[in-house]
């Protein structure tokens, strides 16, 4: 298991985003701006999820997930952020652009209401697309597929080969436009840590990467270098300036819960703005927008006052 570590909090990202945002962050046509907006909305949803004090409250929200080894324990489901980033990276006319709306339909009725989508019972063929579908709230009896996806599975390029293209962002599935290239820059930024298989190589990637000594002892050097939140932000075009680097360094130097929460000092966020952004994170499951209403001002203030997030995964 990974060792406990301290990383940038969503509250900090929201409070300081303007100071290290990509230069094109406010552009309506920039693909980098689209991904940046997704990351900010994801951070807003994460803060809103963190207001849920119990596992039951957390899991009742379609976009939240509970991890009792983290502090706070309720946060945005990583699958939601991944889905939202994919949705912002679709190339017009690509197979992915066609099948993506179908992946959001988690029930037969929702699938039938989505253009060119077909509901399939869970079988070997349907399982090829299962990984794209959010698990929470999904109808376990079937999966929603686009008709062109089904044709591909019936053709010569089927099964594992097509799944491999999907997982590896092959242009045959994803296209080759600026939008998907922007997504690949984010993925490459985080994967650069995974490729650093020695401690010195990992340290050279700081503050994008961190060395997990516990994982290294358990598995050897392989996979011991893991990406930090800074890697994701940098991949999306964040400027690695003093504001971001100073905060990342403060978190990296915190090794206990108390020092993690104190790292960087208090931050201030506009609670109303955060909740508004949280509501527009890409819907999952049935396609209905997540509720994510305010849980309570006291809890929100506690989250907003922490500059770092302690991830306890021991």
The pLDDT tens digits for 159-207 are: 778 888 888 999 999 999 999 999 999 999 999 998 888 889 998 988 8
Neighbours of 308 (CB within 10 A): 26
Q: How far apart are CA 217 and CA 211, in angstroms?
A: 11
Burial class of 154 by CB neighbour count within 10 A (0 to 12, 13 to 18, 19+): exposed
Beta strands in 84-132 (DSSP E): 117-121
Instruction: Tell me, yes or no, whether 170 and 229 share the same domain.
Output: no
The pLDDT, as a whole number, for residue 296 is 37
Q: What is the pLDDT of residues 256-276, one digit of tens each?
A: 888 888 887 677 777 767 767
Per-residue tokens: 33 = 């701006």
Instruction: Tell me, yes or no, whether 63 and 100 share the same domain.
Output: no
Residue of higher predicted confidence among 306 and 19: 19
Instruction: Tell me, yes or no, whether 239 and 288 share the same domain.
Output: yes
Range of the domain at 166: 95-174
Q: How far apart are CA 58 and CA 66, in angstroms?
A: 6
Q: What is the pLDDT of residues 237-261, one digit of tens each?
A: 999 999 999 999 988 888 888 888 8
Instruction: Tell me, yes or no, whether 193 and 59 share the same domain.
Output: yes
Phi-psi region of 199 (alpha: psi -120 to 50; beta: other; left: phi over 0): alpha
Q: What is the pLDDT of residues 65-111, one digit of tens each?
A: 999 888 889 999 988 898 899 999 999 999 999 999 998 888 889 89
State how many domains the chain has: 2
The pLDDT, as a whole number, for residue 234 is 93
Residue 285 scores a pLDDT above 70 = no
Residue 42 scores a pLDDT above 60 = yes
The pLDDT, as a whole number, for residue 120 is 83
Instruction: Tell me, yes or no, whether 164 and 245 share the same domain.
Output: no
Out of 113, 142, 174, a domain closes at: 174
Q: 10-20 vs 297-304: helix axis angle to the nearest 10?
A: 60
CB 237 within 8 A of CB 282: no
Instruction: Tell me, yes or no, whether 167 and 190 share the same domain.
Output: no
């Amino acid at each position: 298991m990974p060792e406990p570590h301290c990383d940038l909090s969503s509250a900090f990202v929201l409070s300081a985003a303007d100071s290290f945002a990509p230069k094109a962050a406010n552009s309506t046509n920039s693909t980098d701006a689209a991904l940046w907006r997704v990351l900010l909305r994801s951070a807003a949803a994460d803060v809103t999820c963190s207001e849920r004090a119990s596992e039951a409250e957390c899991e009742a929200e379609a976009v939240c997930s509970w991890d009792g080894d983290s502090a706070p324990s309720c946060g945005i489901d990583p699958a939601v952020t991944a889905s939202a980033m994919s949705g912002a990276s679709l190339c017009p006319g690509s197979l992915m652009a066609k099948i993506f709306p179908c992946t959001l339909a988690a029930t037969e009725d929702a699938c039938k209401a989505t253009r060119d989508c077909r509901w399939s019972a869970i079988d070997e063929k349907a399982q090829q697309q299962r990984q794209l579908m959010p698990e929470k709230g999904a109808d376990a009896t079937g999966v929603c597929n686009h008709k062109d996806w089904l044709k591909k599975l019936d053709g010569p390029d089927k099964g594992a080969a097509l799944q491999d293209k999907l997982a590896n962002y092959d242009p045959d599935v994803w296209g080759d436009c600026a939008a998907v290239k922007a997504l690949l820059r984010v993925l490459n930024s985080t994967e650069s840590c995974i490729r650093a298989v020695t401690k010195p190589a990992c340290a050279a990637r700081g503050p994008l990467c961190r060395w997990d000594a516990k994982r290294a002892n358990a598995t050897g050097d392989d996979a011991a270098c893991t990406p930090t939140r800074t890697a994701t932000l940098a991949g999306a075009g964040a400027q690695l300036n003093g504001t971001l680097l100073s905060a990342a360094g403060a978190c990296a130097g915190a090794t206990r819960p108390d020092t993690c929460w104190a790292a960087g000092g208090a931050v201030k966020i506009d609670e109303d703005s955060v909740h508004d952004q949280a509501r527009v994170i890409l819907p999952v499951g049935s396609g209905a927008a997540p509720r994510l209403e305010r849980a309570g001002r006291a809890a929100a203030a506690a989250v907003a006052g922490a500059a770092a997030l302690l991830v306890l995964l021991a």
